[in-house]
Amino acid sequence: MSASSATAPIQSAASDPYLIRIRDLVYKAAGIFQPDTKLRLLADRCGRRMKELEVKTLRDYMDRLTQPGAGRDEMVKLLNEVTIGETCFFRHQPQLEALKTIVWPRIIAARSEIRVRKLRIWSAGCSTGEEAYTLAMALLEESAGMFKGWTFEIQATDLNERSLEHAKAAIYGDYSVRNVTPHFRQKYFAPVDDKLQVSPAVRNLVSFSRLNLFDDTRMLFMKGMDLIFCANVLIYFDLSSKRRVIQHFYSNLQPHGYFFLGHSESLYGVCDQFKLVHFPSATAYVKVQPQSSGK
Ligand SMILES: C[S@@+](CC[C@H](N)C(=O)[O-])C[C@H]1O[C@@H](n2cnc3c(N)ncnc32)[C@H](O)[C@@H]1O
């Protein structure tokens, strides 16, 4: 088959009205919006599922997605195909520097009035786990220093089941570990065949689970976080999806907590309940306290 004849069905699928309806279902299920320029990609991803199910037309596939019960399971599988999980260890070093030098000391100071010495972190949209494990390693580096006597809990969540399986296995190739320094490689990784596996000491700090950021009920159960990371996730959302999800992050963050986005993202025009704070080459958000607002 020539390249052009191979792509022809996808091109025509991109203008199929049932694809538009599937796009709406994906948006309703997970907040992920596929603009017209991405319709061919969506058609390709649906095509993968249709091949597996031996379904011939987008209309039949849409019927499958809307079947009571089975439709929900199929949507989970389609979302596994649709989501993009680009990530790596130590993705944004200035964020880690800001944590170590500014954010963690401030949280420790804020917590000095409370007896509980437990730091709770949420990596929302963790993909294959590199972000959560990076945070765990950074904490372990401080466990004999500023965090002496503290315990850590990192909850890492994502929509994509396959990414979560990878995260739990914690085995990574060269591309994922390209930013890992020799110090961290030696201390926190062990070779497995031609790859590296994260050590049990790091893995024990992180628990992975499937959570759709669009699931309002589940989002209510993520309270009391000192730090929330939602990096490079909301770029796939439109404004109203962003607002809905950010509202949950706001309620789930402790008053002294910090919220981090990806380094090219911002809440500008999305939410004014957070205040932007600047660090060298990085930014984060803190809650605007009601008594300080408007001053
Ligand atoms: C580009 S990765 C970001 C990974 C990591 N946070 C980082 O910055 O390196 C985006 C992740 O967001 C997840 N995602 C997208 N929509 C989601 C939703 N509605 N609920 C939960 N996770 C979602 C995707 O499955 C994907 O793994």
Query: What number is the average pLDDT over the span 241-266?
Result: 96
Query: What number is the average pLDDT over the span 8-13?
Result: 61
Query: What number is the average pLDDT over the span 265-275?
Result: 95
So what's the pLDDT on residue 181?
A: 98
How many angstroms does the Cα of residue 231 sit away from the middle of ligand 1?
Answer: 8
Residue-level length of the chain: 295
* 140 touches ligand 1 (CB under 6 Å): no
Query: What number is the average pLDDT over the span 88-115?
Result: 94
Other beta carbons within 10 angstroms of residue 247's beta carbon come to 14
User: Residue 231 and residue 164: Cα distance in Å, rounded?
Assistant: 16
Q: Which domain holds residue 64?
A: 3-82
How many angstroms does the Cα of residue 74 sit away from the middle of ligand 1?
Answer: 19
So what's the pLDDT on residue 240?
A: 94
pLDDT surpasses 50 at 294 = no
So what's the pLDDT on residue 160?
A: 97
27 — phi, psi (to 5°)? -65, -45
The region that residue 232 occupies, defined by phi over 0 for left and psi between -120 and 50 for alpha, beta otherwise, is left
CATH number for 55: 1.10.155
Distance of alpha carbon 269 from the chain centroid: 21
pLDDT surpasses 80 at 290 = no
The region that residue 45 occupies, defined by phi over 0 for left and psi between -120 and 50 for alpha, beta otherwise, is alpha
* 179 touches ligand 1 (CB under 6 Å): no
Q: Of 82, 101, 120, which residue sits at a domain end?
A: 82
Query: What number is the average pLDDT over the span 7-17?
Result: 68
pLDDT surpasses 90 at 112 = no
3-state secondary structure of 67: coil
DSSP string computed for 118-135:
EEEEEEET-TTSHHHHHH
Domains of the chain: total: 2
Query: What number is the average pLDDT over the span 253-268?
Result: 95
User: Residue 131 and residue 156: Cα distance in Å, rounded?
Assistant: 9
Same domain, 49 and 174: no
> Which of 134, 153, 152 lies closest to 143, judged by CA?
152
So what's the pLDDT on residue 291?
A: 65
So what's the pLDDT on residue 5?
A: 40
Query: What number is the average pLDDT over the span 116-134?
Result: 96
* 236 touches ligand 1 (CB under 6 Å): yes
**Which alpha helices (DSSP H) does 236-289 contain, by range?**
239-252
Query: What number is the average pLDDT over the span 35-53?
Result: 95
User: Residue 273 and residue 72: Cα distance in Å, rounded?
Assistant: 34
User: Residue 286 and residue 295: Cα distance in Å, rounded?
Assistant: 16
* 125 touches ligand 1 (CB under 6 Å): yes
So what's the pLDDT on residue 10?
A: 59
Same domain, 110 and 156: yes
Q: Of 82, 111, 144, which residue sits at a domain end?
A: 82
Instruction: With respect to residue 272, please indicate whether it lies within any of the assigned structural domains.
Output: yes
Instruction: With respect to residue 87, please indicate whether it lies within any of the assigned structural domains.
Output: no
Instruction: With respect to residue 234, please indicate whether it lies within any of the assigned structural domains.
Output: yes
So what's the pLDDT on residue 114?
A: 77
So what's the pLDDT on residue 269?
A: 94
8 vs 4: which has the higher pLDDT: 8
Same domain, 149 and 45: no
User: Residue 15 and residue 8: Cα distance in Å, rounded?
Assistant: 12
The predicted-structure confidence for 206-244, as pLDDT tens digits, reads as follows: 999 999 999 999 999 999 999 999 999 999 999 999 999
Same domain, 74 and 106: no
User: Residue 141 and residue 63: Cα distance in Å, rounded?
Assistant: 52
CATH number for 283: 3.40.50.150
* 193 touches ligand 1 (CB under 6 Å): no
Q: Indicate the top mutation candidate among 233, 235, 236, 242 to test ligand 1's pocket, ranked by most ligand atoms within 8 A of CB.
A: 233
Q: Of 17, 52, 82, which residue sits at a domain end?
A: 82
How do 253-261 and 206-210 pair as beta strands? unpaired
Same domain, 60 and 100: no
> Which of 43, 48, 46 lies closest to 13, judged by CA?
43
Q: How many helices (H) and strands (E) does the chain have?
A: 13, 10
Same domain, 155 and 111: yes
Same domain, 242 and 162: yes
| The two structure tokens encoding residue 30 | 């997970």
The predicted-structure confidence for 171-191, as pLDDT tens digits, reads as follows: 999 999 999 999 999 999 999
So what's the pLDDT on residue 233?
A: 97
* 31 touches ligand 1 (CB under 6 Å): yes
pLDDT, the chain, mean: 93
pLDDT surpasses 80 at 292 = no
Same domain, 38 and 176: no
3-state secondary structure of 287: strand
With a pLDDT cut of 70, the percent of the chain lying above it is 94
Same domain, 141 and 239: yes
* 226 touches ligand 1 (CB under 6 Å): no
